[in-house]
Structure formats: structure tokens, C-alpha cells
């Protein structure tokens, strides 16, 4: 059985000792995809739109990774001093990948920044800082000096959702490594999970073979079978026929 090729979105990193910096993706995503039976391949930020489209033709699925904040100017978001790491190349990469994968019905999974990129790419908006902009919110920014597999709060899933079927239930404890979140939901997305404060924790793209975004980080929760199942489901959906 041929293993599917899964594209992994990347980030730019400044390096004093490397002219022009470097492009990379956290190994946790690569390990999770490989353990589920896929072959992870990093998609560099420097590709043109045409090259991205050509790359996607050869890939079987996508993982949109976590990372720095999306530029609020893209979605007319409110400025906030906690916004960090704005990278136009990374924004261009992620938003283009979402739109291409949606149009071409290519399986994709968005994680943390990835779910935010899905929402913004399709016309939604974000809280640029949850603690300041959402009343009575929980703490969601359990970083940087906290283990990434720390279970911060529960999420409640819509029982009939595909995500609940994949994970095998409708309530799970998850980690939480973000200060931004989904505000207005893009057309075509169905909300399939919330945290106890009402923040959107998962979405699915209506009518798509496998278009799922989660706000938590399942790649850091691989000791939990339901979180491994999410990557396995992506691999099965992307497997060449």
C-alpha cells in the first residue's frame, strides 16, 4: 500500500550564521504524520503561487502547522501589543494552501495557527488577543515554560461531527498554546467543538472529503489514542487509491 505524501507548512527562521535564514517545521508534526503511516514533506515558504499549486498536485494531503500570528491587516483585525512574529511569506503560504486544498478537495488538517489560517483564508476573523477581547475567557496561552502536553481544559465536540467520530467521543481534555482564536466563522465552515468559555476549538469544511481544523496541538498529545487517531484519519483520507 503506497503511503501518502503529506505536505507540512513551514516557517522562516532568522539565523545570524546562515545567510538568508532557514525554513523549517517542528519535528513533532513530522513524527505524528510518519507514525500514522504518511511521508511528511516540508513545503517551503519561498514558493510562488504557481509552484505551490504544482506542489499540491503531487501531494496527497496537508498539515497546516502552528506558529506565529497571522497579520491582523489581512482580516481587518484589531491591533494588539501581543501580536508577534508577523511573516508575510508564511501568511501567503498558509492562506494559499488552504484555498488550493479547499478548491481541489485535497485532505487537510489545520492545527492551532492552522485552524486560524483556515478561517481567515475562507473569509473569517480572529480575536487578536483572547484575554483582552473575549469576556470571561479561560486561560488559553499555556506557554512557554509549561510542558506542551499539559492538559489545560476540556473541549466539547458536536456528537454527530466527523471529528467526534474520528476521536471516538464528544469530550476530551486538550492542551492549549495560543493567545488568538476564531471570532467570526468563515462561510462554509461548521463549528464542531468549543471550550467551556465558548471559544471555537474545531471546524470542518462543509462538503469537503477531509477539511478539519483544531485549536489544540494533537501532535504533542500522541500518548493519547484519540489524538493519534486524528492523524491516522488524515492519512487514510489522503491515501492514494
Known catalytic residues are: 112, 217, 219
Rg (C-alpha) for the chain, rounded Å, is 17
**Other Cβ atoms within 10 Å of 144 Cβ, number:** 7
In the block, residue with C-alpha cell 516540508: 42
Give me the phi and psi of 98, to 5 degrees please.
-60, -50
Amino acid at each position: 500500500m503506497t503511503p501518502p505524501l503529506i505536505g507540512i507548512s513551514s516557517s522562516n527562521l532568522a539565523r545570524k550564521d546562515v545567510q538568508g535564514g532557514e525554513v523549517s517545521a517542528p519535528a513533532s508534526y513530522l513524527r505524528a504524520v510518519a507514525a500514522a503511516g504518511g511521508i511528511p514533506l516540508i513545503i517551503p515558504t519561498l514558493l510562488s503561487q504557481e509552484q505551490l499549486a504544482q506542489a499540491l498536485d503531487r501531494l496527497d494531503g496537508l498539515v497546516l502547522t502552528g506558529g506565529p500570528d497571522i497579520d491582523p491587516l489581512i482580516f481587518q483585525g484589531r491591533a494588539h501589543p501581543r501580536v508577534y512574529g508577523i511573516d508575510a511569506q508564511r501568511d501567503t503560504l498558509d492562506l494559499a494552501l488552504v484555498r488550493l486544498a479547499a478548491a481541489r478537495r485535497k485532505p487537510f488538517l489545520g492545527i492551532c495557527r492552522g485552524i486560524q489560517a483556515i478561517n481567515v483564508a475562507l473569509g473569517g476573523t480572529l480575536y487578536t488577543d483572547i484575554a483582552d477581547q473575549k469576556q470571561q475567557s479561560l486561560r488559553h496561552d499555556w506557554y512557554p515554560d509549561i510542558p506542551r502536553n499539559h492538559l489545560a481544559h476540556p473541549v466539547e465536540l458536536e456528537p454527530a461531527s466527523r471529528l467526534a467520530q474520528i476521536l471516538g467521543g464528544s469530550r476530551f481534555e486538550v492542551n492549549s498554546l495560543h493567545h488568538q482564536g476564531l471570532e467570526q466563522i468563515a462561510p462554509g465552515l461548521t463549528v464542531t467543538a468549543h471550550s467551556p468559555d465558548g471559544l471555537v476549538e474545531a471546524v470542518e469544511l462543509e462538503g469537503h472529503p477531509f477539511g478539519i481544523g483544531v485549536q489544540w496541538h494533537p501532535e504533542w498529545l500522541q500518548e493519547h489514542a484519540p489524538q493519534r487517531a486524528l492523524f491516522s484519519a488524515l492519512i487514510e483520507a489522503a491515501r492514494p487509491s
